[in-house]
Amino acid sequence: MTAITQIRRNDQPIYLDYQATTPMDPRVLEVMMPYFTHKFGNPGSRSHAYGWEAEEAVEKARGQIAKLIGADEKEVIYTSGATESNNLAIRGVAEFYKDRKNHIITTVTEHKCVLDTCRHLEQQGFEVTYLPVQQNGLLDLDVLRAAITDKTVLVSVMAVNNEIGVIQPLAEIGKICRERKVFFHTDAAQAAGKIPLDVEAMNIDLMSISGHKIYGPKGIGALYVRRKPRVRLVAMIYGGGQERGFRSGTLPTPLCVGLGEACEIAMKEMGTEAKHLAKLQERMLKGLRAKLTDIVVNGDLEQRIPGNLNISFAYVEGESLMMGIKNLSVSSGSACTSASLEPSYVLRALGVEEEMAHTSLRIGLGRFTTEHEVDTAVDELVRHVTKLRAMSPLWEMAQEGIDLKSIEWAAH
Amino acid sequence: MAAFAYLDHNATSPLRPVAFESMVEVLRAGGNPSSVHTAGRKARAAVETARRQVAALVGALPAEVVFTSGGTEANNLALSGAGRRRVLVSAVEHDSVLRAAPAAEIIGVDGNGVVDLAALERALASSADEPALVSVMLANNETGVLQPIADVVRLARDAGALVHCDTVQAAGKVPVEVHGLGVDYLSLSAHKLGGPTGVGALIVRTGAPFATDRRGGGQESNRRAGTENVAGIAGFGAAAQEAAKGLDLADWRDRLEFSLVQIAPRARVFGAGAIRLGNTSCVAMPGVPAETQVMAFDLAGVCISAGAACSSGKVQRSAVLAAMGVPADEAATAIRISLGWNTEPADIERLITAWRDLYIRVTQSDISRAEAA
Amino acid sequence: MAYSEKLIDHYENPRNIGSLDKNAEDVGTGLVGAPACGDVMKLQIKVGPDGLIEDAKFKTFGCGSAIASSSLVTEWVKGKTIDEAETIKNTDIARHLALPPVKIHCSVLAEDAIKAAIADYRAKAQKEEPKEAAE
């Protein structure tokens, strides 16, 4: 891929945090550029050529987004990002239908913006069921079936988890929801452009999309809202009535165009990219396993996007490992909570014990990752894990055959 | 000469080159500002630099700046975030204020579009036991008329009310100082001052109550969740720094209005009796529908608008002019001309020429029709 | 989060990593923290016949600040009497390494570790004494 040199200079760390954000594809940036400069019109201006030009561009992009998920362009509305899309979908549906139904179902491993929105709705008097996931991170469909009641208005299950990359059985969930006449929302921020999505085949009623997770710009996202059968929402942002009244505010033309182009590229290249990433994922895992024992991949390895690995390096604390691998940009969990010291709630939901959760790293591979970068990353990881294990009292005890669980640890 | 004379800056202003440059740099660098690694820290640094620049534009503390997706979101966030059930707004507020608070009590304006302070005082006094939120814009988007915010704040404070001020159109055109004005919440939009679309800010005064409406990853100190639009924010910062130098367009605008009225003696300039932004002119060519004017100007290579841009296309009567007591038939002939940072004298000449050509054409046809009759 | 140069130096070039014979009479071992909390420190001191700490070793499972705190403490205690070593305060460690506020608990743990090692040494020594008296 020729674009690599444009993405990373040699003196920069290797970027392996593609679930936090992706670099923009230079091709996306290129199509955005004119809309920053000479094609700067407000798509809401109907009185002159600048406005028409902007409107045309925004509508073309809307079509590109719709196509990626098998939707009609009329069903796509622009937002400022997946966080807003998730807030709008869940709150919008809950509030619109609250006189008839007041129960929402979601899972414990959702993104924080979904969980926070649900908690807020609970305070408003809605009932929310947070379904557990299995040890592999996947939702048990029988558990879902059992949770749906006459009062259930919405099921919100993410398509791909941001920390462990597992893919939820969307088509099966959609089928259950449709049968039970419950709306199905999926947060597809990590899934769109990575795995095939089809709102018709999967019976998805609402879908959140993010620009900056698919090599597009930050500050833009989309929400798919089904028209047949129609899903109705209470808007969150009121004003000029843009986006069919669902979401007011001047549309940022260059960002819309960028999201559209990112979707178009993803659609064209998804197949080859997935193969490329699967190879890299395997290469990384093989490389690590060849030289390190006691490493565990968290989350299902099969039902997973190839661009993600979440690994516990037993007996090595994750933060100290991150501090060592200075040449690698990885994370110990979701970016939102990077600065906090709490172990990941997603890993805990999988039943990963806290001591193992403390040893986990999220490694995100993406479009611009090369084999050479993977090899360098493996070397760095092996070197530092080995070094840190040599200074880990837990590793020492384990080597001596002491069962760490038999020790009474002094809590502090 | 440029292909078009763009005189619709109140709809959106072209991106300033400095903003474009800072955005391209950030777009190439990438990174999520919440990540702790190198790429993340660089993105964070870009956001924080911009925060200082935006804060400086309005005399706020950097910690008081909450970045949003634009002015509309900032206004919505202020109205819900203040947590006051009773809301008082002026009749000429932007739709993003009026629709975000559909139950708000409307305070009227005078013939020049200036808020009726006596009415505001009465409304505030009418239920002193329930402290309100007052939302009054600094400058109107259609007429450019400035509101007496200091007086609004004084009355509000006496009644224990909070004040939100929409300065989307004012910032960068007149000096705005959040603590000088004494308001609790202040909205900004980047693309109205030469920054990019898709980004804005709400200034929340230190100590003002604020409960967010946007939940998620805890960004913006838990006041507005969502991964930051880093490039947009960087562009906003650079544009804000540049816009802080101010725009001195009043002389050109006055000359423009003088010429228009000279050509069409019955033309009326709305809000002319009030203090206005120096860049905005809302003017009616008697007897000619605004849509006809807009089309004629467009053919002559001049971009103006018939009202607020928003989701227009719908031709409806301006609520702002209606509130000022302008008769419907006259309001239907009003156009908005708005100058900006890259306006040149040639653009204004072009507009005047187009206005003259159109006026002559319609008056002659009027005369010919009258003769035929 | 920006770390001080001293902290990074101790993290990258930790002093006195290793283990002493925990069953030796002149070795005191402190093991504090818990894996579930993300920090475990093992700190050992070897006390010479003159009552001075002649060697100190550590192993730590924890973040960079925890590693640096324990490394620093092993440097500090060497050559001190156990009474002197006991006066080391977590605030001294935190100040020396310029620990960020969220990492202060690492210095607390290091102080606990040295205290635990000293207590272990003293407990062993007390058991010794009656034996000697009997002889």
DSSP B201-215: EEEE-TT-----S--
Q: Inter-chain contact B298–A29, Cβ cutoff 8 Å?
A: no
Residue B223: its H or E element: none
Is residue B303 annotated as part of the catalytic site, yes or no? no
Whole domain around residue B274: which residue ranges? 5-13+248-372
For all residues of chain C together, what is the average pLDDT? 91
Closest Cβ opposite residue A80 in set B198, B218, B230: B198
How close does chain A come to B372, measured CA to CA in Å?
33
Take residue B39 and report the two structure tokens written for it: 């790429």
The model's pLDDT over C8-51, given as tens digits with 9 standing for 90+, comes to 999 999 999 999 999 999 999 999 999 988 899 999 999 999 99
The C-alpha atoms of residue A236 and residue B333 are separated, in whole angstroms, by 34
Nearest CA in chain C to A353: C36
- Predicted local confidence at residue C81, as pLDDT: 95
Look up residue A190 and give its amino acid: Q
Do B176 and B53 have their domain in common? yes
Tell me if chain C has a CB within 8 Å of the CB of A354.
yes
End-to-end CA distance of chain B: give it in Å, rounded.
Answer: 43
The model's pLDDT over B199-233, given as tens digits with 9 standing for 90+, comes to 999 999 999 999 988 888 889 988 999 999 999 99
Whether C87 and C76 have beta carbons less than 8 Å apart is answered as no
Whether A50 and B5 have beta carbons less than 8 Å apart is answered as no
Exposure b/e, A336-351, CB count within 10 A at least 16 = b: bbbeeeebbbbbbbbe
Helix (H, G, I), strand (E, B) or coil at B88: strand
Nearest CA in chain A to B25: A29
How big is the CA angle at A109 (ends A103 and A114), to the nearest 5 degrees?
A: 50
- Predicted local confidence at residue A2, as pLDDT: 40
Indicate whether A215 pLDDT > 90: yes
Strand partners, C71: none
The C-alpha atoms of residue C67 and residue B168 are separated, in whole angstroms, by 51
Chains in contact with A, counting 3 or more C-beta pairs less than 8 Å apart as contact:
B, C
Contact list, A355 vs chain C (CB under 8 Å): 35-36, 38
Helix (H, G, I), strand (E, B) or coil at B153: helix
The model's pLDDT over A306-334, given as tens digits with 9 standing for 90+, comes to 999 999 999 999 989 999 999 999 988 65
Task: Indicate which CATH number applies to the domain containing B105.
Answer: 3.40.640.10
Nearest CA in chain A to B70: A249
- Predicted local confidence at residue B1, as pLDDT: 52
Whether B305 and B8 have beta carbons less than 8 Å apart is answered as yes
Contact list, A242 vs chain B (CB under 8 Å): 310-311
Test the C interface: residue of A315, A392, A395, A407 with most C CBs within 10 Å: A392
Q: Inter-chain contact C33–A409, Cβ cutoff 8 Å?
A: yes
Instruction: Write out residues 236-295 of B within 8 Å (CB-CB) of A.
Output: 294-295
Whether B39 and A17 have beta carbons less than 8 Å apart is answered as yes
Strand partners, A79: A221
The C-alpha atoms of residue A81 and residue A188 are separated, in whole angstroms, by 11
- Predicted local confidence at residue A3, as pLDDT: 41
Whether B223 and B198 have beta carbons less than 8 Å apart is answered as no
Average pLDDT over residues C93-112: 92
Average pLDDT over residues A72-86: 97
> Which part of chain A is CATH 3.40.640.10?
26-265
Q: Inter-chain contact C33–A412, Cβ cutoff 8 Å?
A: yes
The CA-atom distances, in angstroms, between B140 and each of A129, B112, B166, B289, C30 are 47, 11, 9, 22, 71
Nearest CA in chain A to C57: A391
Closest Cβ opposite residue A320 in set C33, C58, C63: C63
The model's pLDDT over A178-193, given as tens digits with 9 standing for 90+, comes to 999 999 999 999 999 9
How close does chain A come to C84, measured CA to CA in Å?
24
Q: Inter-chain contact A391–C67, Cβ cutoff 8 Å?
A: yes
Strands A221-225 and A76-79: antiparallel
Strands A103-107 and A152-156: parallel
Phi first, then psi: give them for residue B312, nearest 5 degrees.
-55, -160
Q: Inter-chain contact B27–A337, Cβ cutoff 8 Å?
A: no
Whether B200 and B69 have beta carbons less than 8 Å apart is answered as yes
CATH topology of domain A4-22+271-395: Aspartate Aminotransferase, domain 1 (3.90.1150)
Tell me if chain C has a CB within 8 Å of the CB of A398.
no
Q: What is the pTM of this model?
A: 0.86
Residue B318's pLDDT band (cuts 50, 70, 90):
confident
Average pLDDT over residues B100-125: 95
Helix (H, G, I), strand (E, B) or coil at B316: coil
Nearest CA in chain C to A409: C34
* A&B contacts, CB < 8 Å: 270
Number of domains in chain B: 2
Phi first, then psi: give them for residue B343, nearest 5 degrees.
-70, 140
Contact list, B218 vs chain A (CB under 8 Å): 112, 336-337
- Predicted local confidence at residue A404, as pLDDT: 87
Indicate whether A411 pLDDT > 80: no
- Predicted local confidence at residue C2, as pLDDT: 73
Indicate whether A343 pLDDT > 90: no
Nearest CA in chain A to C8: A323
Residue B35's pLDDT band (cuts 50, 70, 90):
confident
Residue B37's pLDDT band (cuts 50, 70, 90):
confident
Q: What is the 8-class DSSP label of residue B287?
A: T
Interface predicted TM-score (ipTM) of this complex, two decimals: 0.90
Residue A1's pLDDT band (cuts 50, 70, 90):
very low
How close does chain A come to C63, measured CA to CA in Å?
4
Closest Cβ opposite residue A412 in set C58, C61, C109: C109
Domain end, chosen from B193, B215, B243, is at B243
Chains in contact with C, counting 3 or more C-beta pairs less than 8 Å apart as contact:
A
What's the 3-state SS for chain C?
CCCCHHHHHHHHCCCCECCCCCCCCCEEEEEEEEHHHCEEEEEEEEECCCCEEEEEEEEEECCHHHHHHHHHHHHHHCCCEHHHHCCCCHHHHHHHHCCCHHHHHHHHHHHHHHHHHHHHHHHHHHHHHHHHHHC
The C-alpha atoms of residue B164 and residue C49 are separated, in whole angstroms, by 75
Test the A interface: residue of C1, C19, C40 with most A CBs within 10 Å: C40
Q: Inter-chain contact B303–A47, Cβ cutoff 8 Å?
A: yes
- Predicted local confidence at residue A4, as pLDDT: 42
Strand partners, A15: A329
How close does chain A come to B371, measured CA to CA in Å?
33
Tell me if chain C has a CB within 8 Å of the CB of A406.
no
Take residue B147 and report the two structure tokens written for it: 């509101």
The C-alpha atoms of residue A347 and residue B317 are separated, in whole angstroms, by 57
The CA-atom distances, in angstroms, between A100 and each of A96, A126, A153, B329 are 9, 12, 9, 46
Question: Above pLDDT 70, what percent of chain B?
Answer: 95
Higher model confidence: residue A71 or residue B25?
Answer: A71
Take residue C25 and report the two structure tokens written for it: 């009479």
Tell me if chain C has a CB within 8 Å of the CB of A316.
yes
How close does chain A come to C133, measured CA to CA in Å?
34
Domain end, chosen from B219, B243, B267, is at B243
Question: Above pLDDT 90, what percent of chain B?
Answer: 77
Look up residue B16 and give its amino acid: R
Domain end, chosen from B199, B215, B243, is at B243
Closest Cβ opposite residue A396 in set C3, C19, C108: C19
- Predicted local confidence at residue A9, as pLDDT: 57
- Predicted local confidence at residue A334, as pLDDT: 58
Helix (H, G, I), strand (E, B) or coil at B106: strand
Edge-to-edge strands, sheet with A308-313: A295-297, A308-313, A360-364
The model's pLDDT over B262-286, given as tens digits with 9 standing for 90+, comes to 999 999 999 999 999 999 999 999 8
| Four-way CATH pick for C5-130: 3.90.1010.10, 1.10.10.60, 1.10.10.10, 3.30.930.10 | 3.90.1010.10
Q: What are the domain boundaries of chain C?
A: 5-130
Do B270 and B188 have their domain in common? no
- Predicted local confidence at residue A48, as pLDDT: 87
> Which part of chain A is CATH 3.90.1150.10?
4-22+271-395
Do B94 and B229 have their domain in common? yes
- Predicted local confidence at residue C83, as pLDDT: 94
How close does chain A come to B34, measured CA to CA in Å?
5
Do B238 and B254 have their domain in common? no
| Four-way CATH pick for A26-265: 3.10.420.10, 3.30.2350.10, 3.40.640.10, 3.40.50.2300 | 3.40.640.10
Residue B134: its H or E element: strand B133-135
* A&C contacts, CB < 8 Å: 82
- Predicted local confidence at residue B267, as pLDDT: 94
The C-alpha atoms of residue B201 and residue B224 are separated, in whole angstroms, by 10
Q: What is the 8-class DSSP label of residue B301?
A: T
